[in-house]
């Protein structure tokens, strides 16, 4: 399956070279053909960036949206924010 994506991000504060950055990722929503991921980048215990990325499952030949396969839904459900 092919994936298409759209991303929105918000910079909260500057990050600095040389300090470790931690990325937290969760699933905000699993739709019929799309999945919305939430991510936060943290440095020195403070959030630096928040981002939301939506990926859409596409048919490889027609490039039209198709249902997210059940096997993928099952793998992603533990990371779904409720």
Dihedral (C-alpha) 33, 75, 36, 59: value to the nearest 10 degrees?
-30
Residues 6+ apart with CB under 8 A from 75: none
- Mean pLDDT over the full length of the chain: 89
Characterize 2-19 residue by residue with b for buried, 16 or more Cβ atoms within 10 angstroms of its Cβ, and e for exposed.
eeeeeeeeeeeeeeeeee
pLDDT of residue 1: 64
pLDDT of residue 45: 92
Instruction: Pick 10 or 47 by higher pLDDT.
Output: 47
Which pTM does this prediction carry? 0.78
Share of the chain above pLDDT 90, in %: 73
Residue 3: which pLDDT band, with cuts at 50, 70 and 90? low
Q: What is d(CA 39, CA 62) in angstroms, rounded to the nearest whole number?
A: 30
pLDDT of residue 22: 93
């Amino acid at each position: 399956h092919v994936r298409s994506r759209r991303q929105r991000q918000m910079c909260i504060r500057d990050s600095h070279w040389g300090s470790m950055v931690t990325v937290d990722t969760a699933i905000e929503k699993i739709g019929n053909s799309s999945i919305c991921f939430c991510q936060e980048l943290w440095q020195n215990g403070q959030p630096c960036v928040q981002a939301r990325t939506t990926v859409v499952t596409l048919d490889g030949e027609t490039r039209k949206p198709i249902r997210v396969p059940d096997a993928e839904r099952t793998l992603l459900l533990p990371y779904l924010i409720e």
